[in-house]
Amino acid sequence: MSRWRIGDVTITKVVEIEATGGSRFILPEATPDAVKSIRWLHPHFMDERGRLRMSVHALVVDTPSRRIVVDTCIGNDKRRSIPAWNELQGTFLRDLEAAGCPPASVDTVVCTHLHVDHVGWNTTRVDGRWVPTFPAARYLVAAEELAYWTSRPADDDHRTAFVDSVQPIVDAGLVDLVPPDHRICDEVSLVPTVGHTPSHVSVRVASRGEEALITGDFLHHPCQLARLDWKSSADWDVEGARRTRAAMFAHLAETQALMIGTHFATPTAGRVVRDGDAFRLEL
């Protein structure tokens, strides 16, 4: 279990799935032959064959006043078209408890966006119904993000996830619609990083002169630091997402804030540094 200390704040990673290979559906240009030349990715972020290592995990942010869960992964018992994500029966909730974070202790859940692998544990199936997993929490969602997914047709996994993992928390009155630059508490605020979705946000943590950024999906894998043009197949605005990556990488390289990747395999976090016309991650 990975933990980072940012001033008075502790950030803990709780993994649902970590796997090698199988990422071409989300990063189609990151072929094994293409990524093998990015040698700094090995061994943590790719294997010797050029297969990408990726993760689905939540991040628990403990501040002096708040306990925040950022993104809630895929979830158990959810019907999904991706076989490795379908009808999971994993140990995520037990692992969350083992990390010292029982669901009842969470007061805030941040959804960086409403894709299927970021909202799943918003709800849990109890007696055939989807009920909020974190009943004492306020679930924070950018207002434009919710409006977009509310209007989507019901014929893909993201809309299915909206029905079983977002609508129930809306119906329970637990959702707070917030601006994309919302300040959650003294140490934690949202940062607009649009492009992957209409109102995608990242999460900034700053305390005692130290800073970290939880990415969400403005990038999926460190290979995109070396190749800013490699898009995600799930990007809503491909060019807007590329501009966001370029701007955020430049900012992170300048500030040396710790970048914690929402889909980065262990060790998950590092500092962005310039590497010619592109960037790389220093662990």
Q: Average pLDDT of each block of 10 consecutive residues along the chain (283 residues)?
A: 96 97 93 96 97 98 98 97 95 98 98 97 97 98 95 78 96 98 98 98 98 98 97 97 98 98 98 97 97
Residue with tokens 């190749």: 227
Model pLDDT, residue 157: 82
Rg (CA), the chain: 18
Domain that holds residue 28: 3-282
Model pLDDT, residue 154: 66
pTM over 0.85: yes
Model pLDDT, residue 26: 95
CATH code at position 203:
3.60.15.10
For residue 182 the two structure tokens come to: 């919302």
Q: How far apart are CA 188 and CA 185, in angstroms?
A: 5
Domain count, the chain: 1
Residue 44, Ramachandran bin (φ over 0: left; ψ between -120 and 50: alpha; else beta): alpha
Do residues 136 and 106 touch, judged by C-beta distance below 8 A?
yes
Q: How far apart are CA 22 and CA 71, in angstroms?
A: 21
**3-class secondary structure for the chain?**
CCEEEECCEEEEEEEEEEEECCCCCCCCCCCHHHHCCCHHHCCCCECCCCCEEEEEEEEEEECCCCEEEECCCCCECCCCCCHHHCCECCCHHHHHHHCCCCHHHCCEEECCCCCHHHCHHHEEEECCEEEECCCCCEEEEEHHHHHHHHCCCCCCHHHHHHHHHHHHHHHCCCEEEECCCCEEECCEEEEECCCCCCCCEEEEEEECCEEEEECCCCCCCCHHHHCCCCCCCCCCCHHHHHHHHHHHHHHHHHHCCEEECCCECCCCEEEEEEECCEEEEEC
Dihedrals phi, psi of 63, to nearest 5 degrees: -110, 175
Model pLDDT, residue 92: 98
Model pLDDT, residue 22: 87
Do residues 216 and 200 touch, judged by C-beta distance below 8 A?
yes
For residue 178 the two structure tokens come to: 């917030």
